[in-house]
Structure 1
Amino acid sequence: MSETKIPARSELDPQFTWATTDLFPSDGAWEAVIPEIQKLIEQLKACQGTLGRSAQDLLAYLKLGDQFTLKAEPFACYAMYQRDQDTRDPRAQKMNGQMMNLLIQAEEATAFATPEILEIPQEAMDRFYQEEPGLEHYRLALTRIRRQKDHTLSPREEALLASAGKIGQSPSTIYNLLNDADLSFPDAVDQEGNKHPVTQGTYIPLVQSADRTLRESAFRNFYSSFGQFRNTFAAALEGQMKQLQFFADARNYPSALHAALDKTEVPVEIYHNLIAAVRESFPTMHRYIRLRKKMLGVEKLHYYDIYTPIVADQDETIPFEEAKKMALESLAPLGEDYLSMLKEGFANRWIDVYENQGKRSGAYSSGVYSCHPFVLLNYTDTLNDVFTLVHEMGHALHSYLSAKNQSVTYADYVIFVAEVASTCNESLLMQHLLASTQDKKRRAYLINYFLEQFRTTLYRQTMFAEFELWCSQQVQQGNPLTAEALCQKYGDLNREYYGEDIEPDPEIALEWARIPHFYMNFYVYQYATGFSAAIALSQRILKEGQPAVQDYLRFLSGGCSTDPVSLLKNAGVDMASPQPVRDALKLFGSLVEEMEEMA
């Protein structure tokens, strides 16, 4: 791939593009499905008022819902992939608009279903299961809906809450507009006096720079802008916490945390256990910070020093063919069945590999129940890209195995387990690379990479989770979330997590204002729990071999056939216990120790 010219989509070798023709042979074939989807929407809508009438009526609606999913999912994905491979394409933009309109129509047409299912008396439900054996397949899905009954209000009250939900989006909307559209930053200046634009996108690369003058300038200038709007950011965050508390109170939950985690069947103890386990390991993080200070050779370590590598990047070019070979070698412990699926994905164009003009940035994996997964990359021949490849293929094979082994009703998995398969693959790749080299510089580079994954995913996301919980508790107790209070708490948490060997730069107390995840309703903790579970699974696979692999493949095949905690427990990781987090942190400690010996 040329480094100077980004090719047009039409200039790419088809073997490096995803095979969307596996979904539909042409745009015309895609468009021909629209009347079929519209007919299914009308049929679903016509079921209104019938779900509690008989077991047969309820079963008919549930089967119709599955039919809709099987028809609408490939339809929606095809349109999304066309858009993402060239976001400037007006044809794809139109298709995406048509797709979104149909999905909104379907959502509106089926809004009656949950209230009707909740209104069915338990005696009637028990009778329905006896009268109609086909309904047994949907028992778990129906139970998941009906377990919300204690938190569901009357139809009139539900309508009011639905209307209030639109207002509840306001804090997030205000934050996003302020953060993404209205905020601007002074240029950063490097040691030569050259100016560098500071944006949300350039900030992290700037503080990763080897030029300390540039790092400090970017850090100070970035947070000076947040400081100017600190009161507005505080008001937006307080509004977010207040609306979450309002809905938690309205639905009879003890707290906003209970309300958020109940949706995915995750006990709140897991959230608290995570924070407690990470707090136990503060001395190890403090050792890492001291090591970073020593290896950077600075008299005083600042927060603008914690992103720059402590080991110089290795100038390594890894073509895509080599990346596939590395993936197959590192994931070999998962067995031949897993590798054969991986090879199938490589050979049959599941992956859109290289950047082209207008292509969506970043990377993702998207499962399609009736076809196969599709993976978007923007591969640039770096080691980081190899990690991205195994990460996204971890997602892909999780979706693929769940689709192969579960009905369409239970093939989707929840967010709590979503990052486990991807991060497990990354851990296996890292441990393979470490086992494959005795070169001190390369080992140091790899360990530095791994240590930063621990710091940013396990420690930092847990700190975010603790801060978010504190904010929620303050609002529940009736305390105002002022900018001063938020900065005080966030600054205190940074000092606790990172220790006394880093300077208490006042700017870091404003970091809460730049974190969009605080508007995602207790989401961030799942990065840390998923990372911990993945580390535990990879360690078990490498130590125990085939029995662990079989348990892991069953987990990947589980979809949402049971709750996420049970799925992981069956794979050998009990996230209801703090032990997996402690085990991951123990590995972090051993890596710090090895790096100390090299320093």
Structure 2
Amino acid sequence: MSQSKVLKRTEVPAEHRWNLEDLFQSQQAWDQEYKEVKELLVKAQTFQGKLNTPEEIKACFELEDEISQHVERLYVYAHLHHDEDTTNPTYQSLSQKGKKLNVEVNEALSFITPEILALSDEQLDSFIANPILSEYQFTLKEMKREKAHVLSKAEEALLAQVGNLSQAPQTIFGMINNADMKFPKIKDENGNEAELTHGSYIQFLESPNRDVRRSAFKAVYETYRKQKNTIAATLTANINKNIFYSRVRKYPSVLEMSLYGDNIPKEVYTNLIDTIHESLPLLHRYMNLRKKLLGVEELHMYDLFAPLVEEYKWDITYEQAKQMISEGLSPLGDNYLNPLQEGFNNGWIDVYENEGKRTGAYSWGAYGTHPYVLLNHKDNLNSMFTLAHEMGHALHSYFSDNNLKYRDAQYTIFLAEVASTTNEALLMDYLLKKSTDPKQKMYLLTYYADQFRTTVFRQTMFAEFEKIVHERAEQGESLTSQDLSQIYYDLNVKYHGKGMVVDQDIEMEWARIPHFYTSFYVYKYATGFSAATSFSKQILEEGKPAVDRYLGFLKSGGSDYSINILKKAGVDMSSPEPIREAMAVFEDVIKQMEQLTN
């Protein structure tokens, strides 16, 4: 049953709370482990200046892993307790203590990488081939790969000092966007004056009332337009900072520098953009369908989030959500469903909102114990998909942790959204096949189609914008607010097609996207969604062979480069195929919507 009122933390029934005693039995146990870490840090210092034999390196890595695992447990326990009730002073303090210890450990162990990188290539190669270090072969290979872009000790020290300066563009944008930006009031559905904020903007765009949508859209972009020169200067400063780092560290371009950490070939990025270009007619077809469903003569940019079906009330209790997810994920077989049930029934999940609890949802945990999931569950479709999504993350960690040593179990951000989104895709397929109510089916199809629009097409458009503006700056061309607006407007026309009105105001949207200050990151949403859609399609069509490959992916953690892990499992992100497979699913969704409207 859903909660009728928000409970105090002490009132939450045990079956709706996660069990943090699986991490530490008591506060005393936490304090004892904290003390042990402090002692181990002293021991770590004895390795300084000695990392030049396989035996010393192995012993040092083993100690580093031991310390890291302790710190992870301490840190996660403190933060989970803090997030379940942020007003609790005991856990506010414990969380701060965990944070400080984390910083202290990072500083104490910071000598390891530079000391190993100071070795000659010949020595490094001999250590990589040495059986004593076989367990750490991937770590050493990674260090050697990074070596080409590590500078001398003095230069690295200088770059470290520039670190604070390099945060300036993002910090300044954050202050303009979150603190100084004030939007005018607008009229809501009832004609009353309403506050327009970052949080309420999307809610207004989802309004069934077109005047409300238009007013919110115009008010937001007129406000950004007043700051266009300042924000353009801030974004350009961020681009120039990226160029500085890429040149100093001897990368061919900012894009290649950004992809280097995960060892992602440039083709993955360019393939995504090219393949989405060839699929734009599908998005245009969806825009035409959207226009028809909304019953408007012209489709505008402020109509993109408008509801396409009358509000469909679908109450799904937490118990029903667990049941439907289990049924939806049944193609993955018992090897997946058994740990899923263990998670549902054995204290992995903190279910409902309570006073002081952190908002949103996430999956997190520490190696050596099961993962944890924080929810703020409501009895609706969105919350059910959130549960499926977070359990995807949790089971990815569960399989990686149970099949790999600590160091190899940590998967990259490039892979992180694949397992969670595969769960959503399988659940969606199950719900669509099971649904007999045309209204319910249309509600589901709309939800799914908009995920393709926002996660694949929109994020790829962002990724293309980033690529264009960086390339222009690298070639020494100017980037005024007019340049940025023109580039952004032209991309919107290209992506959304001639079947809709691309309002001039949308040219200012680049000014409100915080992700542009974490450059070349957004493409991972689109590749992750495409890889997940490809996996789910293979699982549903092939059965066991595809399931075995997928479980192999979940068990691979970060034991190889992300692109290789996916390739072994049957999804080659260096080719256009996974994106084309995702587009085939999108086309099928559109076809089903068209059939229901005819």
Tell me how far 1:217 sits from its aligned partner: 1.3
Counterparts of 1:228 and 1:210, CA distance in 2? 29
- Partner-residue secondary structure (3-state), 1:273: helix
Counterparts of 1:124 and 1:217, CA distance in 2? 66
Q: Which residue of 2 aligns with 1:72?
A: 71
**Contact persistence 2:124–2:144 (CA under 8 A):** no
**Contact persistence 1:320–1:379 (CA under 8 A):** yes
Q: Which residue of 2 aligns with 1:299?
A: 297
Q: Which residue of 1 aligns with 2:108?
A: 109
Counterparts of 1:166 and 1:221, CA distance in 2? 34
Match of 2:255 among 254, 257, 262: 257
Counterparts of 1:322 and 1:500, CA distance in 2? 43
Q: What amino acid does structure 2 have at the position aligned with 1:29? A: A
**Contact persistence 2:76–2:366 (CA under 8 A):** yes
Q: What amino acid does structure 2 have at the position aligned with 1:489? A: I
Q: Which residue of 2 aligns with 1:323?
A: 321
Tell me how far 1:356 sits from its aligned partner: 0.8
Counterparts of 2:441 and 2:126, CA distance in 1? 64
**Contact persistence 2:258–2:520 (CA under 8 A):** yes
Counterparts of 2:265 and 2:494, CA distance in 1? 26
Give per-residue Cα distances to partners, 1:171-218, cap 9 Å, x unaligned.
111111111111111122134321221111111111111121211111
Give per-residue Cα distances to partners, 1:57-88, cap 9 Å, x unaligned.
11111111110122111111001101111112
Check if 1:555 corresponds to 2:553: yes
Q: Which residue of 2 aligns with 1:593?
A: 591
Q: Which residue of 2 aligns with 1:99?
A: 98
Give per-residue Cα distances to partners, 1:89-142, cap 9 Å, x unaligned.
221111111111111111111222211111112332344467x63311101111
- 1:553-592 alignment runs, 5 A limit: 553-592=551-590
Q: What amino acid does structure 1 have at the position aligned with 2:21? A: T
Match of 1:460 among 448, 458, 461: 458
Q: Which residue of 2 aligns with 1:210?
A: 208
Counterparts of 2:139 and 2:349, CA distance in 1? 32
Q: Which residue of 2 aligns with 1:185?
A: 183
Q: Which residue of 1 aligns with 2:494?
A: 496
Counterparts of 1:129 and 1:433, CA distance in 2? 49
Check if 1:505 corresponds to 2:511: no
- Partner-residue secondary structure (3-state), 1:186: coil
Counterparts of 1:492 and 1:359, CA distance in 2? 43
Counterparts of 1:306 and 1:61, CA distance in 2? 55
Tell me how far 1:438 sits from its aligned partner: 2.8
Q: Which residue of 1 aligns with 2:245?
A: 247
Q: What amino acid does structure 1 have at the position aligned with 2:470? A: S
Q: Which residue of 1 aligns with 2:331?
A: 333
Counterparts of 2:326 and 2:584, CA distance in 1? 28
Counterparts of 2:366 and 2:457, CA distance in 1? 34
Q: Which residue of 2 aligns with 1:358?
A: 356
Counterparts of 1:586 and 1:39, CA distance in 2? 57
Counterparts of 2:304 and 2:127, CA distance in 1? 60
Q: What amino acid does structure 1 have at the position aligned with 2:12? A: L
Give per-residue Cα distances to partners, 1:200-256, cap 9 Å, x unaligned.
111111111112121111111122221111111111111111111111100100001
Give per-residue Cα distances to partners, 1:9-30, cap 9 Å, x unaligned.
1111111011111101222321
Q: Which residue of 2 aligns with 1:435?
A: 433
Counterparts of 2:46 and 2:312, CA distance in 1? 62
Pick closer, same or farther for the CA change 1:137–1:384 going to 2, 3 Å: same
Query: More displaced, 76-85 or 119-128?
Result: 119-128
Counterparts of 2:422 and 2:454, CA distance in 1? 16
Counterparts of 2:102 and 2:556, CA distance in 1? 26
**Contact persistence 2:276–2:460 (CA under 8 A):** yes
Check if 1:24 corresponds to 2:24: yes
**Contact persistence 1:302–1:505 (CA under 8 A):** yes
Tell me how far 1:4 sits from its aligned partner: 6.2
Tell me how far 1:439 sits from its aligned partner: 2.2
Counterparts of 1:88 and 1:239, CA distance in 2? 38
Pick closer, same or farther for the CA change 1:391–1:338 going to 2, 3 Å: same
Q: What amino acid does structure 2 have at the position aligned with 1:287? A: R
Pick closer, same or farther for the CA change 1:145–1:198 going to 2, 3 Å: same
Match of 1:226 among 207, 224, 227: 224
Counterparts of 1:318 and 1:583, CA distance in 2? 31
Counterparts of 2:164 and 2:109, CA distance in 1? 19
Tell me how far 1:353 sits from its aligned partner: 0.5
Compute the TM-score of the two structures, normalised by the length of structure 2.
0.98
Tell me how far 1:313 sits from its aligned partner: 2.9
**Contact persistence 2:205–2:305 (CA under 8 A):** yes
Q: Which residue of 1 aligns with 2:56?
A: 57
Tell me how far 1:267 sits from its aligned partner: 0.6
Counterparts of 1:463 and 1:126, CA distance in 2? 42
Q: Which residue of 2 aligns with 1:43?
A: 43
The number of residue pairs the alignment matches comes to 597
Tell me how far 1:434 sits from its aligned partner: 0.6
Tell me how far 1:339 sits from its aligned partner: 0.3
**Contact persistence 2:54–2:132 (CA under 8 A):** no
Match of 1:478 among 476, 479, 483: 476
**Contact persistence 2:64–2:109 (CA under 8 A):** no
**Contact persistence 2:452–2:586 (CA under 8 A):** yes
Q: Which residue of 2 aligns with 1:9?
A: 9
Q: What amino acid does structure 2 have at the position aligned with 1:492? A: D
Q: What amino acid does structure 2 have at the position aligned with 1:19? A: N
List gaps (5 residues or longer) in structure 1: none
Tell me how far 1:594 sits from its aligned partner: 2.0
Tell me how far 1:385 sits from its aligned partner: 0.5
Percent of aligned pairs with the same amino acid: 46
Q: What amino acid does structure 2 have at the position aligned with 1:420? A: V
Tell me how far 1:3 sits from its aligned partner: 6.7
**Contact persistence 1:175–1:236 (CA under 8 A):** yes
**Contact persistence 1:365–1:395 (CA under 8 A):** yes
- Partner-residue secondary structure (3-state), 1:413: coil
- Partner-residue secondary structure (3-state), 1:32: helix
Tell me how far 1:2 sits from its aligned partner: 6.5
Counterparts of 1:351 and 1:403, CA distance in 2? 18
Pick closer, same or farther for the CA change 1:391–1:2 going to 2, 3 Å: closer
Counterparts of 1:507 and 1:4, CA distance in 2? 42
Check if 1:139 corresponds to 2:141: no
Counterparts of 1:271 and 1:110, CA distance in 2? 34
Counterparts of 2:49 and 2:311, CA distance in 1? 64
Q: Which residue of 1 aligns with 2:397?
A: 399
Pick closer, same or farther for the CA change 1:312–1:45 going to 2, 3 Å: farther
**Contact persistence 2:128–2:141 (CA under 8 A):** no
- Partner-residue secondary structure (3-state), 1:409: helix
Compute the TM-score of the two structures, normalised by the length of structure 1.
0.98
- Partner-residue secondary structure (3-state), 1:151: coil
Counterparts of 1:470 and 1:192, CA distance in 2? 43
Q: What amino acid does structure 2 have at the position aligned with 1:108? A: E
Q: What amino acid does structure 2 have at the position aligned with 1:44? A: A
Give per-residue Cα distances to partners, 1:321-347, cap 9 Å, x unaligned.
111000100000000110000000011
Q: Which residue of 2 aligns with 1:167?
A: 165
- Partner-residue secondary structure (3-state), 2:567: helix
List gaps (5 residues or longer) in structure 2: none
**Contact persistence 2:124–2:140 (CA under 8 A):** no
Counterparts of 1:3 and 1:351, CA distance in 2? 16
Check if 1:378 corresponds to 2:380: no
Tell me how far 1:544 sits from its aligned partner: 0.6
Give per-residue Cα distances to partners, 1:372-404, cap 9 Å, x unaligned.
000011100101110000000000000000000
**Contact persistence 1:41–1:105 (CA under 8 A):** no
Q: Which residue of 2 aligns with 1:89?
A: 88
Q: Which residue of 2 aligns with 1:284?
A: 282
